[in-house]
Amino acid sequence: MKIALIQQFASQDIKLNLQRGLEAARLACENGANLIVFPELAFTPFYPQNRLSGSRFEFTETIPGPTTDVFCKLAKQKNVVIVLNLYERDGDAAFDSSPIIDADGSILGVTRMIHITQYDGFFEQDYYDPGDTGAPVYDTAVGRIGIAICYDRHFPEYMHSLGKKKADIVLIPQAGTAGEWPEGVFEAEVQASAFQNGYFAALANRVGAEEVLTFAGGSFVTNPRGQVLAKAPEGIEHILYQDLNLDEVAASPARTLFFEHARPGLFVG
């Protein structure tokens, strides 16, 4: 199974961003991708870099909606699974959301970011309600997929829940900036989660300079032993491809040893 991570810059022109995203997805299909993953808010400017002034619904859309409609059509045409990330409106609530589209063009579900941060450049509590979907794992045409949207990856309980629900692959739509974390931590955190929980992990990052922030790129894929299999360059747009052998999940230390020997009843909190 081949995964493609679309490391893409997003301008102020949402229609152009969407058009370029579709072109990248079509190219990934031509190159044999079975699973395509986009970064966080891939088709809009990163609006949380500024404090909210005005309506928080300016960049929202519904799911299903115009963006999912075009990608559902592509997924069905190309027999490919696609994971997006959008600013979703649901009534009076707004969420940082990832719809997952199966290879038949159907939307299997929507994962909403649970943990909402708030600091300079990431004023996300101004915009988002905390997600109410938990940490679902979806049965797709390419395996069992879980999604950890950006900030959610920092919480071990969330990442462990995806492992206990037998995810084969955990996808991380990300908006990570250059120099945001100490050297090596960006990859090491996800490597540790993949190793401890026995799944492949794939982080798709934004890239490029926006109004306040510069996003790093450097998207990457790890195996269930926590080893980085492939990494995209930093600072430029790129499609990162990697073949995944899902048989490695069942054979991983987490699935053969750690989960069997765990004693969760001894811990509080």
Average pLDDT of 44-58? 97
- The rounded mean pLDDT for the chain is 98
- Distance, CA of 176 to CA of 216 (rounded, Å): 6
Asked whether residue 89 carries a pLDDT value surpassing 70, the answer given is yes
Give the dihedral of Cα atoms 244, 250, 253, 256; nearest 10 deg.
Answer: 180
- What pLDDT shows up at residue 181? 85
pLDDT digits 0-9 by tens, 102-148: 999 999 999 999 999 999 999 999 999 999 999 999 999 999 999 99
Q: Which CATH superfamily is domain 2-263 in?
A: Carbon-nitrogen hydrolase (3.60.110.10)
The number of beta carbons lying within 10 Å of the beta carbon of residue 60 is 19
- What pLDDT shows up at residue 17? 98
Residue 103 DSSP label? T
Asked whether residue 171 carries a pLDDT value surpassing 70, the answer given is yes
Identify which of 46, 217, 39 has the alpha carbon closest to the alpha carbon of residue 124. 46
The number of beta carbons lying within 10 Å of the beta carbon of residue 204 is 29
Asked whether the beta carbons of 71 and 82 are under 8 A apart, the reply is: yes
- What pLDDT shows up at residue 265? 87
pTM for the model stands at: 0.98
- Distance, CA of 183 to CA of 175 (rounded, Å): 17
- Distance, CA of 7 to CA of 205 (rounded, Å): 6
Q: Which residues pair with 118 in a beta bridge?
A: none
Asked whether residue 12 carries a pLDDT value surpassing 80, the answer given is yes
Question: Helix or strand or coil: residue 125?
Answer: helix
pLDDT bucket at 269, cuts 50 / 70 / 90: low
pLDDT bucket at 154, cuts 50 / 70 / 90: very high
Identify which of 134, 121, 108, 144 has the alpha carbon closest to the alpha carbon of residue 212. 121
Asked whether residue 249 carries a pLDDT value surpassing 80, the answer given is yes
Average pLDDT of 182-187? 91
- Distance, CA of 246 to CA of 50 (rounded, Å): 41
For the chain, the domains span: 2-263
- What pLDDT shows up at residue 179? 87
pLDDT bucket at 183, cuts 50 / 70 / 90: confident
pLDDT digits 0-9 by tens, 199-231: 999 999 999 999 999 999 999 999 999 999 999
With a pLDDT cut of 90, the percent of the chain lying above it is: 96
- Distance, CA of 3 to CA of 248 (rounded, Å): 15
